[in-house]
Chain A
Amino acid sequence: MAIDLKTKALKKSLFVFHLSTGSCNNCDIEILDCLTPRFDIERFGMVLVGSVKHADVLLVTGIGTIKNAERIKKLYEQMPKPGFVVAIGACACTGGIFKEGYQMAGPIDKIIPVDVYIPGCPPKPEAMIAGIVKLLEKIK
């Protein structure tokens, strides 16, 4: 019962930390769009936080370059569990047009386990919200 209540609370208040690992910033701007009056994800209790220690969800954009790979791992380890990883954008999901690039260490799921993939270049805010809904269905 108590654990169930905590899971319920977790579903209603996801704190989101945003990590860009060599993206072109397009996905990042679309993430910020989710906070604007048009979409307003604070309705669902989601807040963008400045420190990964406060976060429940790690939003990763970009391909995960060789230089960034280590840092992604570190940040993932620092995130207090239960924590979830969402890969946003074509680059983070598959490598996109940089798939054969020399600086490629990703895609992200080669570096850290990913819970939800949101494809698109960049994905629309609606797509991101739909992805987060899939994540909420996954949390049990």
Chain B
Amino acid sequence: MDIIKIFLLILGSFVIFGISGMISGWLDRKITARLQWRIGPPWWQNFADFLKLTGKETVIPDRANEFLFFLSPAIGIISVVITGAVLLSGIFYKPARWDLFIFIYLMMIPSITIFLAGAASGNVLASVGAGRELRLLLSYELPFILALLVPVVKYHSAQISEIMNYQMMYKINVGYISGLIAFIVGLLAFQGKLGYVPFDVSEAETEIAGGTFVEYSGVLLAMFKLTKWILLSVGVTFFVIYFLGGFHNLITGILKYLLVLLLIVLIKNTNPRLRTDQILRFSWGWLTILGFFALILSLAGF
């Protein structure tokens, strides 16, 4: 691939996942509002939020490490955009042979930048949030990888587009028992990656006032918000491609996307916030056991 193609790919990823991420973020807020018998914000709300934040002053705290304070949102947004580009490369171009592992690596970076942001802020609440974020990362990463390994074992391939094509030829992954379990485990681990409610200890508005983002304002906060939206969109797209058979038919593809998004929002709205130790016990206990179980089932051919 030459430079122009790569540039186009990254630009396309930014535009596609940026817009769909903002719309998904709005859907999340809207569904949450409807579940609480409220009306909720209009569809352009996240665009307005983003635009407003770019026009605001950026306050830099005295005790912050300025270099990391500016660097971490930039790395966060770049990493999610490249993650999206990896997914798109599977659809539009000839992708790398092991792009699943590139994807797993890249999905880890936003959490690390959130940790760095909290640690660089020089604020007590932010450092509490940063520590929690790191513990969260340690706890959900193992079941997440286990869940993603299940189709790899089944199809003897670690290429996202190839796995998608196999699903089109035979049966979608969720149709198998092992695939279904892996889907559930992966979705719950992804909930932690997003920092959504059962696993939102690092952000905990009511407890540590926004956690790692306490000191962020203006453009930097806008970048973090965009990172989260793109992460949501990229993750849901990945689940659709990887477990539900992808976007071969655009309309059913979008319906699948909405279904996964709805599942995430419903989990978010029907659970209380867990403590850090409860999260660790849950994900290294139940989720990991289920993940291994799915792996063994897929080895046995179910």
Interface residues of A (CB under 8 A from B): 3, 5-10, 12-13, 36-37, 40, 42-43, 45, 49-51, 53-54, 56, 78, 80-82
Of all chain A residues, which has the CB nearest B54? A6
Cα(A10)–Cα(B55), bound, Å? 8
Q: Please give, as numbers and ranges, the residues of chain A lying within 8 Å of B90 by CB-CB distance.
A: none
Question: Knowing A13-B52, A37-B37 touch, does A50 contact B206 (C-beta < 8 A)?
Answer: yes
CB distance from B299 to the nearest CB of A (A): 46
Binds A, one of B169-177, B209-217, B226-234: B209-217
CB distance from A5 to the nearest CB of B (A): 7
Judged by a CB distance under 8 angstroms, whether B58 is at the interface is yes
Taking a contact as CB atoms under 8 Å apart, the answer to whether B210 and A37 are in contact is: no
Number of inter-chain CB pairs below 8 Å: 84
**B contact face: mostly helix, strand, loop, or mixed:** loop
Judged by a CB distance under 8 angstroms, whether B205 is at the interface is yes
Cα(A3)–Cα(B37), bound, Å? 36
B215: contacting residue among A10, A43, A49, A53, CB under 8 A: A53
Q: Which of A3, A8, A40, A82 has the most CB of B within 10 A?
A: A40
Binds A, one of B41-49, B244-252, B283-291: B41-49
Cα(A49)–Cα(B41), bound, Å? 16
Q: Please give, as numbers and ranges, the residues of chain B lying within 8 Å of A81 by CB-CB distance.
A: 56-57
Question: Knowing A40-B33, A50-B206 touch, does A56 contact B214 (C-beta < 8 A)?
Answer: no
A56: contacting residue among B52, B59, B205, B213, CB under 8 A: B52
**Binary contact readout B262-288 vs A (1 if CB under 8 angstroms, 0 otherwise):** 000000000000000000000000000
Q: Please give, as numbers and ranges, the residues of chain A lying within 8 Å of B209 by CB-CB distance.
A: 50-51
Judged by a CB distance under 8 angstroms, whether B51 is at the interface is yes
CB distance from A77 to the nearest CB of B (A): 9
Q: Please give, as numbers and ranges, the residues of chain A lying within 8 Å of B44 by CB-CB distance.
A: 12
Taking a contact as CB atoms under 8 Å apart, the answer to whether A13 and B213 are in contact is: no
Q: Please give, as numbers and ranges, the residues of chain A lying within 8 Å of B210 by CB-CB distance.
A: 49-51, 54
Q: Please give, as numbers and ranges, the residues of chain B lying within 8 Å of A40 by CB-CB distance.
A: 33, 38-40
Q: Please give, as numbers and ranges, the residues of chain A lying within 8 Å of B48 by CB-CB distance.
A: 8-9, 12-13, 45
CB distance from A116 to the nearest CB of B (A): 19
Residues 13-40 of B contacting A (Cβ, < 8 Å) = 29, 33, 36-40
A42: contacting residue among B40, B54, B217, CB under 8 A: B40
Judged by a CB distance under 8 angstroms, whether B130 is at the interface is no
**Binary contact readout B55-83 vs A (1 if CB under 8 angstroms, 0 otherwise):** 11111000000000000000000000000
Cα(A7)–Cα(B221), bound, Å? 18
Taking a contact as CB atoms under 8 Å apart, the answer to whether B57 and A13 are in contact is: no
Taking a contact as CB atoms under 8 Å apart, the answer to whether B217 and A37 are in contact is: no
Q: Please give, as numbers and ranges, the residues of chain A lying within 8 Å of B56 by CB-CB distance.
A: 56, 80-82
Judged by a CB distance under 8 angstroms, whether B218 is at the interface is yes
CB distance from A74 to the nearest CB of B (A): 12
A12-B44, A53-B216, A53-B221 are known contacts; what are 5 more A-B pairs with Cβ within 8 Å? A42-B40, A45-B45, A50-B206, A50-B210, A56-B52
CB distance from B280 to the nearest CB of A (A): 25
**Binary contact readout B185-225 vs A (1 if CB under 8 angstroms, 0 otherwise):** 00000000000000000000110011001111110010000
Taking a contact as CB atoms under 8 Å apart, the answer to whether B51 and A9 are in contact is: yes
A51: contacting residue among B38, B51, B214, CB under 8 A: B214
Cα(A5)–Cα(B47), bound, Å? 11
Q: Please give, as numbers and ranges, the residues of chain B lying within 8 Å of A45 by CB-CB distance.
A: 41-42, 45, 48-49
Question: Knowing A37-B36, A40-B38, A42-B41 touch, does A53 contact B59 (C-beta < 8 A)?
Answer: yes
Taking a contact as CB atoms under 8 Å apart, the answer to whether A6 and B217 are in contact is: no
Q: Please give, as numbers and ranges, the residues of chain B lying within 8 Å of A36 by CB-CB distance.
A: 38
**Binary contact readout B65-105 vs A (1 if CB under 8 angstroms, 0 otherwise):** 00000000000000000000000000000000000000000
CB distance from A51 to the nearest CB of B (A): 4
Taking a contact as CB atoms under 8 Å apart, the answer to whether A6 and B41 are in contact is: no
Taking a contact as CB atoms under 8 Å apart, the answer to whether A50 and B38 are in contact is: no
Taking a contact as CB atoms under 8 Å apart, the answer to whether B45 and A13 are in contact is: yes
Of all chain A residues, which has the CB nearest B56? A80
